[in-house]
Amino acid sequence: MRLFSRVILLTLPLFLVACYGSFQYDVYVENATLVPIEVSFATSVDRNGIEQYQIVIAPGERIKIISTVDQIDSINDEPMSPNHCTAVADYVNAVMVDTDLVAKNVWCGDNVVLSRVDIQQGEFYVIFKPQDFE
């Protein structure tokens, strides 16, 4: 019983840090249309500093557009959550290059999926489909 108590006492701080420590997020954008799309995005927490870019993504291509520095868990005092998208990017928008149709999707909307990669690392995925531009 003594060994069990020691194990619990030693692992409890690790568990608490893992659940309520800092988080790091990546954002991936996929072009599931048949034409190139131009994605514009802005973030103030990218590893490279403040980022505001427009990038053309070929059909079928998926790329990482944001990789954040560690985010302190002061975001609503909750563990990793889809709600953290507001702290990761200001916006992620897309336009079809040849038609100038703007995607109806909004950042932090239903089209944004959070995948937990590790205890304190998550990846947001945004997939732009043809019906998003109708």
- Rounded to an integer, what distance in angstroms lies between the CA atom of residue 35 and that of residue 132? 13
Question: Phi and psi for 76 in degrees, rounded to 5?
Answer: 60, 20
- For residue range 65-100, what is the model confidence (pLDDT) as tens digits? 999 988 755 555 667 888 889 989 999 999 999 999
- Strands (E) in the chain, as ranges, are 24-31, 37-46, 49-57, 62-67, 91-96, 112-118, 121-128
Round to whole Å and give the CA distance between 128 and 107: 11
Q: What is the pLDDT of residues 3-26, one digit of tens each?
A: 555 545 445 444 444 445 678 999
Q: What are phi and psi of 119, to 5 degrees?
A: -55, -40
Q: Which CATH number applies to 22-133?
A: 2.60.40
**Comparison of pLDDT for 42 and 75, the residue scoring more:** 42
Separation CA 21–CA 79 (nearest Å)? 8
Neighbours of 22 (CB within 10 A): 12
C-alpha triplet 28, 129, 131: angle, nearest 5°? 150
